[in-house]
Amino acid sequence: MHPVRKNDQLTVRIEDLTHEGAGVAKVEGYPLFIQGALPGEEAEVHVVKTLKSYGFAKLLEIKQASPDRVTAPCPVFDICGGCQIQHLSYEGQLAFKKKVVSDALARLGKLPDVPVLPVKGMENPWRYRNKSQIPFGMQDGEVAAGFYRTRSHVIADTDTCIIQSEEADRIMRGLKHRLLSMGIEPYDEKTHTGQLRHVVVRKGRATGEVMVVLVTRKKNLPQKERISQLIRELVPAVKSIVQNVNNEKTNVIFGKETLTLWGTDAIEDRIGDVRFEISARSFYQVNPDQTEVLYRQALEYAQLKGDETVIDAYCGIGTISLFLAQQAKAVMGVEIVPQAIEDAKRNAQLNGFTNTLFEAGPAEEVIPRWYKEGRKADVLVVDPPRKGCDSHLLNTILEQRPERVVYVSCSPATLARDLRILEDGGYRTKEVQPVDMFPQTAHVEAVAWLQLEE
């Protein structure tokens, strides 16, 4: 039997935070997860669910607050699923994120001695997102827009989001209050009716250029000219207004067809000295200021002197590849998404790089073929999705044995797992540098430097 039951009300001491930012209390060794509670706090909670080895409780009252507790400035923080730790001071957030990385390495990777450096944070940890994906819907007869509530598809209606750009806020507010008068209904995912599903706003941080993507259920969008005019009035810096058609019953935001309604097909941004062309569906890091910090760290760990060949697995649209190409003899990028490779080639051309090669396909198949063709890497860079490196790619690294591996990670758990595999295969993790790409959320990125031990 559990020491607690559903609907129990009790006072607990918060001991820790989960990697998702929920407080952890233990009652006779039984963990209770409590959203909104912070370590060191004494709180009254109401048990809402019990499972075999852990339970969930709702925070009722904080009896003793943490010195790191702050008042979350967002009016919908308590219900919105976008941010998890606005109630934690920024210094506290950085300390929490370092601990998440260190704990993952020690517990999951059995690597307690790897140095984890202090997290590189932002001077101003607000308004950092250059891409906003805003769902639209109806609530109580009014148009609602914002972000989804935690673990749901119910919109937390708001007029402002303080981690997205002010341009995105202006477009969200302006469309929300004038949609119905233009004869455009927001989408209802239960009945698969209505027209406007999402509005995606992208901004070039260095250039100031703005793109607005209207994701609609049908190609026929009433008042196209009027809506384009409204967007241009709301944000004079807009350079591209695009319609994307998604008629599927799906949680996926974009459909297959994209049409330019006004202006250019793409906007441009820069990370450091490297220019990037961004179209409606291009993958591009959402925090360009910290992306530069992240990539400069990857460049530092790559230790390029100018005569190295670098392979960039999971290269995307070539963001890291082109950063490395500034200092390497040659950079070869591989990515499974053909459209991303086309973007990478175009971005290389845009910057005048002649020392890059990009190929579409699975990294674990393309890289061994390159090696057979005599194209060997001195340095291999991986920037995998949250699930980590494919096991075949890890085997490829261990077979080909590049001198250095730079691992850019968005998941401390899969980073720890993969580092353990590479360590068992003869590499040593010299150090790990976490970078705060997503302030106010529980996410943390990290760059690891691995060296082949002879």
Q: What is the pLDDT of residues 312-334, one digit of tens each?
A: 999 999 999 999 999 999 999 99
Spell 352-387 as b/e; 16+ CB within 10 A means b.
Answer: ebeebbbbbeebbebbbebbeeeeebbbbbbbbeee
Residue 373: which pLDDT band, with cuts at 50, 70 and 90? very high
Give me the DSSP letters along 37-81. Answer: --TT-EEEEEEEEE-SS-EEEEEEEEEE--TTB-----TTTTTBS
Residue-level pLDDT at 349: 97
Q: Does residue 9 have a pLDDT over 90?
A: yes
- In one letter, which amino acid is 400? Q
Mean pLDDT of 433-437: 98
In the chain, which residues fall in CATH 2.40.50.140? 9-64
CA distance 213 to 200: 5
Mean pLDDT of 2-25: 93
CA distance 321 to 314: 10
Give the CA radius of gyration of the chain: 24
Is residue 83 annotated as part of the catalytic site, yes or no? no
pLDDT digits (tens, 9 = 90+) for 383-428: 999 999 999 999 999 999 999 999 999 999 999 999 999 999 999 9
Residue-level pLDDT at 1: 74
Residue-level pLDDT at 360: 97
413's tokens: 């758990």
Q: Does residue 291 have a pLDDT over 80?
A: yes
pLDDT digits (tens, 9 = 90+) for 42-66: 999 999 999 999 999 999 999 999 9
Give me the DSSP letters along 192-227. Answer: TB-SEEEEEEEE-TTT--EEEEEEESSS--TTHHHH
Share of the chain above pLDDT 90, in %: 94
When the pLDDT of each residue in the chain is averaged and rounded to a whole number, the result is 95
DSSP structural state of residue 1 = -
Give the chain's end-to-end CA distance (angstroms, integer).
53
Pick the closest to residue 160 from 149, 174, 150 (CA basis).
Answer: 174
Share of the chain above pLDDT 70, in %: 100
Return the axis-axis angle of helices 363-372 and 391-400, rounded to nearest 10°.
20
Residue-level pLDDT at 260: 97
Residue-level pLDDT at 90: 98
Mean pLDDT of 10-37: 95
Q: What are phi and psi of 141, to 5 degrees?
A: 80, 5
In the chain, which residues fall in CATH 2.40.50.1070? 131-271
The CATH code of the domain at 131-271 is 2.40.50.1070
Pick the closest to residue 170 from 204, 207, 127, 206 (CA basis).
Answer: 127
Residue-level pLDDT at 151: 83
Distances in Å between the Cα of 177 and the Cα atoms of 91, 138, 159, 223, 394 are 38, 12, 10, 15, 51
pTM of the model: 0.94
Regarding beta strands 55-64 and 30-34, do their DSSP bridges make them parallel or antiparallel, or are they unpaired? Answer: parallel
Residue-level pLDDT at 20: 86
Q: Which residues contact 233 (CB under 8 A, 6 or more apart)?
A: 174
Residue-level pLDDT at 256: 93
The CATH code of the domain at 98-122+287-452 is 3.40.50.150
pLDDT digits (tens, 9 = 90+) for 194-235: 999 999 999 999 999 999 999 999 999 989 999 999 999 999
Mean pLDDT of 289-295: 96
Residues pairing with 31 in the sheet: 26
Pick the closest to residue 30 from 44, 12, 7 (CA basis).
Answer: 12
pLDDT digits (tens, 9 = 90+) for 64-90: 999 999 999 999 999 998 999 999 999
In the chain, which residues fall in CATH 3.40.50.150? 98-122+287-452
DSSP structural state of residue 239 = E
What class, spelled out in words, does domain 9-64 have in CATH?
Answer: mainly beta
CA distance 36 to 79: 11
Q: Does residue 454 have a pLDDT over 90?
A: no
